[in-house]
Amino acid sequence: MKVLVAVKRVVDYNVKVRVKSDGTGVDISNVKMSMNPFDEIAVEAAVRLKESGAVSEIIAISCGVAQCAETLRTAMAIGADRAILVESTQELQPLAVAKLLKAVVDKEQPGLVILGKQAIDDDCNQTGQMLAALCGLPQATFASALTVADGKAVVKREVDGGLETLSLDLPAVVTTDLRLNEPRYVTLPNIMKAKKKPMETFTPAGLGVDVASRLKTLGVKEPAQRSAGIKVADVATLVDKLRNEAKVI
């Protein structure tokens, strides 16, 4: 069985982002970029399924600028067998990415598609759900445990009331949560091996997909500075300030 794993190139989670002076977005010039942490968990999940014998091939895919090839090489160093880059200089919103992934799903016919539940740059949490809808496939989001056997995927997912267990007929779409696993350390020998693994490159036009933006960003600004806390003398003063100043009760 094939597994398709989507990975996104984002600003490294250790970096403090800066807003552009004109307020049109985040400044990513001369900033360290890396694989989205949730997608790294997705790659690790696929590798563990292959190690258990449930999966025969892992295909990593990324959509974006040419530098996304570096992210795909990281995915192959973790354990993906080959990679697909859908290269585009346009801003790719979740619906556009879902359409591109659907085109590749139709081409590759994987038994399972694994994505991170969201990207840490836009926090949209939409691509996996949109892909499942476009492909007409069952889906399980926020997976904290995943097993595959006998043509089914069993997923434990975190919900407000605790844990929910779902059984999905394959093929299916699964999005990963933080507690699914801890990605392995990428070793230098595996990084060198990844350079020899095959990578195909496509364009949205070549896949017959329209990636025009449907949403417009009106402005981006830094969050407001937090004001200093104060001490109150008694409960009555606290309630008064919460009611009349903070207006939260």
**How does pLDDT run across 191-234, given as a tens digit for each residue?**
999 999 999 999 999 999 898 888 888 888 888 888 888 888 89
CB 153 within 8 A of CB 140: yes
**Alpha helices (H) along 79-217:** 94-108, 127-135, 188-194
Amino acid (1-letter code) at residue 69: A
Q: Specify which residues 26 forms β-bridges with.
A: 19
- What tokens appear for 238 in the block? 């606290």
pLDDT 10s digits, 19-66: 888 877 888 888 888 999 999 999 999 999 999 988 899 999 999 999
Distance of CA 214 to the CA centre of its chain: 20
Full set of structural domains in the chain with CATH: 2-224 (3.40.50.620)
In sequence order, the β-bridge partners of residue 59 are: 4, 82
pTM above 0.75, yes or no: yes
Neighbours of 93 (CB within 10 A): 18
